[in-house]
């Protein structure tokens, strides 16, 4: 297996993990914040929102998934370009919108669907480029 092929496979694997963690994390955060209600932009309002998020279990599970996302992201950018990893991670938009429709029962119109599809195709185009364009990286040991 060539170096580039191995690089693509391990980057794809890490990006898939990123997408799963980010989507589940975002979904759980959204659900938690909907339980808390709209944040009032005043001192007491922000303080109340902060306390409410600390006491919300759904938000904590969401945070765990987002920590998983961050670790996967840190690993991926240790060998691949930032301008490759981040757009590649947007493959999750389609999944995210589907989850928003199915689980949160949000209404998504055709125009917004077209936007999401364009984003995903743009990301696919970026995904065809070489994952790493900077000089060889050291190995953490």
Partner 1 sequence: MIKVGLMLVFFICCSTGGEIAMTHGMKQVGEPENFRPRALWRFIAKAVKNGWVWFAMPLMAGAFYSLLILFSWAPLSVVIPASAFNYVVGTFGAKYLLREQVSAKRWMGVVMVCVGVALVLITAKR
Q: Are 97 and 116 in contact (CB under 8 A)?
A: yes
Binding to partner 1 by residue 4, rule CB under 8 A?
Answer: no
Give me 27's structure tokens: 């979904």
Q: How far is the CB of 47 from partner 1 (least distance, A)?
A: 13
Contact code string over 52-91 relative to partner 1, x by CB under 8 A: -x------------x---xx-xxx-xxx-xxxx-xx--x-
Binding to partner 1 by residue 12, rule CB under 8 A?
Answer: no
Binding to partner 1 by residue 42, rule CB under 8 A?
Answer: no
State the maximum Cα–Cα separation within the chain, in Å, rounded to a whole number.
Answer: 59
Binding to partner 1 by residue 51, rule CB under 8 A?
Answer: no
Binding to partner 1 by residue 20, rule CB under 8 A?
Answer: no
Length of the chain (residues): 141
Half-sphere exposure of 51 (CA within 13 A, CB side): 6
Q: What are the angstrom distances between the C-alpha of 81 and each of 8, 33, 46, 68, 127? A: 12, 33, 37, 20, 11
**What's the CA gap between 65 and 36, in Å, rounded?**
20
Q: How far is the CB of 23 from partner 1 (least distance, A)?
A: 9
Report the interface residues with partner 1, using CB under 8 A: 26-27, 29-30, 33-34, 36-39, 41, 49, 53, 66, 70-71, 73-75, 77-79, 81-84, 86-87, 90, 93, 96-97, 100-101, 104, 106, 108-109, 111-112, 114-130, 133-134, 137-141
């Amino acid at each position: 297996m060539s170096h580039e092929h191995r690089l693509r496979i391990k980057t794809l694997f890490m990006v898939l993990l990123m997408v799963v963690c980010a989507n589940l994390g975002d979904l759980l955060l959204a659900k938690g914040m909907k339980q808390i209600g709209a944040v009032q932009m005043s001192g007491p309002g922000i303080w109340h929102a902060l306390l409410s998020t600390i006491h919300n279990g759904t938000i904590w599970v969401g945070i765990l998934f987002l920590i998983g996302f961050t670790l996967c992201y840190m690993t991926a950018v240790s060998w691949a370009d930032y301008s490759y990893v981040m757009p590649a991670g947007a493959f999750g938009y389609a999944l995210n919108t589907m989850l928003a429709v199915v689980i949160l029962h949000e209404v998504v119109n055709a125009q917004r669907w077209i936007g999401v599809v364009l984003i995903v195709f743009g990301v696919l185009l970026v995904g065809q480029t070489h994952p790493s364009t900077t000089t060889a990286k050291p190995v953490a040991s």
